[in-house]
Structure 1
Amino acid sequence: MSTNGAWRIRRADPDEAAGLERLQERSSTHWGYPPGYFDWAGDARAIPEAYVRINPVFVLEQEGGRVLGFYAFTEEGGDLFLDKLFVDADQIGKGYGKLLWRHAIHTAGELGRSDFIVASDPNAAPFYAAMGAVEYATKPTAEPSWTLHMFRHTLSSSFPLRAGRRSESGDDRTIR
């Protein structure tokens, strides 16, 4: 892992939503998707302020305030979903995705969960497999050439599970 300098992972502010949406779009260019490729997905890629306000969304911020990446959890049908995990295109391959993943595992545990689901871009599927998530299905999308890879990550039995407290949802750690 070649992360240099100081950084922190903190809860996202709703007014950062538009910037996170732009970072998500830039991240997708890493895989060669042309601009507008995901138009078929409709609002699935939108990140409105309300999304950041009601879901656990965390940003990885470099000293000086640059957001290097982020992740977000959502709930659906009683399941916890890692709905988004994106690293800015020029920062991919530097270990930041792994930092966000580890923090997401910690957050899931603090939320009292024993596992969570990831619906992955086909290009990111090897990352989730390397992180220990287990692929259990694929799902077609409105775009026939693009299939979601469904993963489940089970938290280690040694992770101390308990219900999270609202005061804990604003993790703000600085690492040097």
Structure 2
Amino acid sequence: MSTNGAWRIRRAEPDEAGELEGLQDRSSAHWGYPPGFFDWAGEARAIPDAYVRNNPVFVLEEDGKRLGFYGFTEEDGDLLLDKLFVDADEIGKGYGKLLWQHAIQTARELGRSEFIVGSDPNAAPFYAAMGAVQYATKPTAEPSWTLHMFRYTLSS
């Protein structure tokens, strides 16, 4: 767990899954997506208890309020930063960078030298600013929305 002043980053608990899913939805609303826009994504946006229990998922909180979270999964042998969300009211305050830095530390602790990020098009500039390199885009079931794929190599 990391702490600094009033905020801290800690491992998420499975019983928080529903609250994290709500935070993810609020964060996405920041970009102007209408309600139901991501219905095409099916279960990809769901955060069940098992997701939190079985993966490294960390929550950033301040005074008991969840400000953001991230989660890693494995896909085809790669470590994937599957989720990194900051609550809509907190975007632009540096919390995303705190979560990103913690994610780098977590990847190191997992013995990894790199990880992959599948990014919302609106968040792509954030990942580029954090030093991740975009290597592809992937179409989705929604023709107006493309997944931006980044790779981040951990420095020695």
Q: Same fold (TM over 0.5)?
A: yes
Match of 1:125 in 2: 124
- Runs of at least 4 residues of structure 1 off by over 2 A? none
Aligned residue runs from structure 1 range 1-176, under 5 A: 6-63=6-63, 65-157=64-156
Equivalent residue letter for 2:54: I
TM-score normalised by length of structure 2: 0.97
Consecutive unaligned residues in structure 2, runs of 5 or more: none
Aligned equivalents of 1:154, 1:69: Cα separation in 2: 23
Displacement after TM superposition at 1:68 (Å): 0.1
Displacement after TM superposition at 1:5 (Å): 5.5
Q: For 1:62-93, what per-residue CA distance to the aligned partner results, in whole angstroms no more than 9, with x for missing partners?
A: 02x10000000000111000000000000000
Which structure is higher in RCO with an 8 Å CA cutoff and minimum separation 6?
1
Aligned equivalents of 1:36, 1:81: Cα separation in 2: 25
Aligned equivalents of 1:62, 1:35: Cα separation in 2: 28
Equivalent residue letter for 1:67: R
Higher fraction of strand: 2
- Greater Rg, structure 1 or structure 2? 1
TM-score normalised by length of structure 1: 0.86
Aligned equivalents of 1:115, 1:5: Cα separation in 2: 30
Identical-pair percentage: 84
Q: For 1:100-126, what per-residue CA distance to the aligned partner results, in whole angstroms no more than 9, with x for missing partners?
A: 000000000000000000000000000
Aligned equivalents of 1:102, 1:110: Cα separation in 2: 13
Aligned equivalents of 1:151, 1:76: Cα separation in 2: 14
Aligned equivalents of 1:141, 1:76: Cα separation in 2: 17
Equivalent residue letter for 1:70: F
